[in-house]
Amino acid sequence: MTSKPFSVLTKELVFLKNKSSTQTIRIERLDPSVLGIRASHNLPECFTLTPSQVVTRLPYEYEVYYDSSKSDGLTIPETMYIKFTEKIFMAEGLIDGVTIRVRIVEKKTKLESLECKLCLLQFSEEKEDLIPRILTTCGHTICQSCVNQIKPPQPSHFGRNIDVQCPFDRKSTNLPPDGMLPKNFTVIEMLREHEEMEILEKLTATKLCEDPDVPCFENSKHESTCYCTSCKAEFCEGCFEITHASKIFSSHKAIPIDQKPVVLPNCEIHPDNLVYYLCKSETCQTETKLFCDECKLNEHESHEHDNLAERVVTNQDNLKEIIKNLKSTERKFQLKIEIAQTCGQSYRKDTKLYTDKVESIKRYFEAKKEEALKKLDNYFETEREKLEVEREEIEHGLGLVTEVRRDIEKMLKRKNNLYDVEEIMEKGNALCSLEAGSGTLIVPFSRISLPDDMSTESLPIITFSGSPSTDPANVERESVVREILARTIDRRAIKATRKYSQKK
């Protein structure tokens, strides 16, 4: 294949679906030996390309007419194109062509109106080659790069005016002495508005949180997603872009919030110094156990201590492991709740199992059906209430686990008090082994066989399956769990338990 002996500035033709229009394609001859241009295409019948034969006379121009009235009912190819090749007798297939895309759109988007119609690149105020320039004679706008392409070669002598021809209507515009056409400030202003709208859309898309894990520095109800290493503050994506839109802040770097560094506190005795150690000496008489390098040589000299940075890393790893275990415990609770809900559904009176049992009772105990049905209703209500109480107790336990897990997650994300986590670790580890519920058997109605006479002596009873643990470690762990439950159980659970006990 040889290089192309001609060029086409137009890259794409876009037609509005409900508007008939004509667009012109101009082909620039680069090689004087070109004999003509041939066009081929896959356009449907609503398009007309003229001339249809080979163009041999300069300037090489084609017109594409779109008739919107003929587009209804037509099968429009997914990809439409017009391909131009050089007409060389006996060797047409040996020359590369130039292909132009053709599209039909419902309406032009705002971004399409901010594109150069020659190269199809979006205008830019920052990039020199994409600055919108006005052809002052006709008013059309193209980018600086396309102006450079259609500009004729620089004359060998000075003082001669340079004209450029508009690629759309062929009107000539005289270039200023500096060679720069005026900027289209209307398009530039539209670009600025579009950028502001994009930032605003990101900001409005940010969800409001009543209790975010890491509040945004600009809006305390936004969840932070990044940390500015220069501002030393947390931001959500929208607030960061707005506050850092100015060029003054363009050098600021944002990192993901989970990569935020741990900031060590200042020493209380020497406020200008950061603390690096945690004193572990039982004989230490100082009020604070955190101390700096200067304290190490004076107040805490020869005291046993931990490196605070290493302790923070260890604490973070331990807390992450607890979170992992708590999530596993949460999944167990959730699974148990789902089972309880599924079983509870089986005790509804609109199920087939219930209606079949009703019919069986009616056939077998016609004379005593009212009494038997009443017993059945009471049984269903009693067992459902038991399961409801059990479900509430499971949900209460899940709430305790989730609350502690959230507290630990907040501590990790906020990087606060990571040197003092013994109490919350004790709670977390204790709740990791907490069993779901009080031990009540959760049995669906499908697995229970009721006697047709509904005699009280024969009715199955859902009992408690739990048995006291004899292992000392388990006894101690259960004691800690019970202590936590005793401190945090709410009044609704107490009332539900009393109600259940009274009915029983």
pLDDT of 463 reads 46
Q: How far apart are CA 324 and CA 93, in angstroms?
A: 66
pLDDT of 47 reads 93
Q: Report the CATH number of the 206-259 domain.
A: 4.10.640.40
CB atoms within 10 A of CB 69: 8
Q: Label residue 502 by pLDDT band (50, 70, 90).
A: low
Q: Where are the beta strands (DSSP E) in 269-404?
A: 277-279, 290-291, 305-307
Residue 408 carries which side chain, given as an amino acid letter?
A: I
The pairing of beta strand 163-165 with beta strand 172-174: antiparallel
pLDDT over 60 (residue 501): no
Tens of pLDDT along 144-158? 988 888 887 765 445
Segment 345-353 shows an average pLDDT of 87
Q: Label residue 335 by pLDDT band (50, 70, 90).
A: very high
Tens of pLDDT along 218-249? 888 888 989 998 898 999 888 888 788 777 88
Q: How far apart are CA 255 and CA 84, in angstroms?
A: 50
pLDDT over 60 (residue 288): yes
Q: How far apart are CA 109 and CA 48, in angstroms?
A: 25
Segment 36-56 shows an average pLDDT of 83
pLDDT of 333 reads 93
Q: Where are the beta strands (DSSP E) in 337-449?
A: none
**Counting every residue, how long is the chain?**
504
CA 345 distance to own-chain centroid = 36
Query: In the numeric block, which tokens belong to residue 18?
Result: 């409900």
Please, which residues have CB within 8 angstroms of residue 208's CB and are 6 or more apart in sequence?
221, 222
State how far the alpha carbon of 194 is from the alpha carbons of 121, 142, 201, in Å.
16, 19, 10
Tens of pLDDT along 427-438? 888 888 878 777
Residue 60 carries which side chain, given as an amino acid letter?
A: Y
pLDDT of 394 reads 87
pLDDT over 60 (residue 60): yes
Tens of pLDDT along 1-16? 445 667 776 778 888 8
The closest of 234, 212, 231, 233 to 223, measured between CA atoms, is 212
Q: Label residue 133 by pLDDT band (50, 70, 90).
A: very high
Q: How far apart are CA 398 and CA 387, in angstroms?
A: 16
Strand partners, 24: 63
pLDDT of 238 reads 81
Q: How far apart are CA 23 and CA 65, in angstroms?
A: 7
pLDDT over 70 (residue 216): yes
Report yes or no: 227 and 259 within 8 Å, Cβ to Cβ.
yes
* Radius of gyration of the chain, Cα coordinates, nearest whole angstrom: 40
Q: Report the CATH number of the 6-108 domain.
A: 2.60.40.10
Q: What angle do CA 498, 504, 494 make, to 5 degrees?
A: 15
pLDDT of 256 reads 92
pLDDT of 318 reads 93
The closest of 269, 409, 393 to 327, measured between CA atoms, is 409
Overall pTM > 0.75: no
Report yes or no: 386 and 480 within 8 Å, Cβ to Cβ.
no
pLDDT over 90 (residue 206): no
pLDDT of 205 reads 62
Instruction: Answer with the residue of higher pLDDT: 503 or 373.
Output: 373
* 3-class SS string, 240-253: HHHHCCCHHHCCCC
pLDDT over 70 (residue 410): yes
pLDDT over 80 (residue 30): no
pLDDT over 90 (residue 331): yes
Strand partners, 14: 103
Report yes or no: 384 and 445 within 8 Å, Cβ to Cβ.
no
Among 79-93, 273-287, 467-481, the least confident range: 467-481
Q: Which SS3 state, helix, strand or coil, does residue 348 take?
A: coil
Q: Which SS3 state, helix, strand or coil, does residue 396 take?
A: helix
Segment 102-120 shows an average pLDDT of 75
Among 202-211, 447-456, 481-490, the least confident range: 481-490
Q: How far apart are CA 49 and CA 3, in angstroms?
A: 26
Going from N- to C-terminal start, the domains of the chain cover: 6-108, 206-259, 311-503
DSSP 25-57: EEEEE--TT---EEEEE---TTEEEE--S-B-S
Dihedral over alpha carbons 73, 75, 81, 87 (to 10 degrees)? -90
Report yes or no: 113 and 20 within 8 Å, Cβ to Cβ.
no
pLDDT over 90 (residue 199): no
Q: How far apart are CA 344 and CA 383, in angstroms?
A: 9
Report yes or no: 99 and 8 within 8 Å, Cβ to Cβ.
no
Report yes or no: 166 and 135 within 8 Å, Cβ to Cβ.
yes
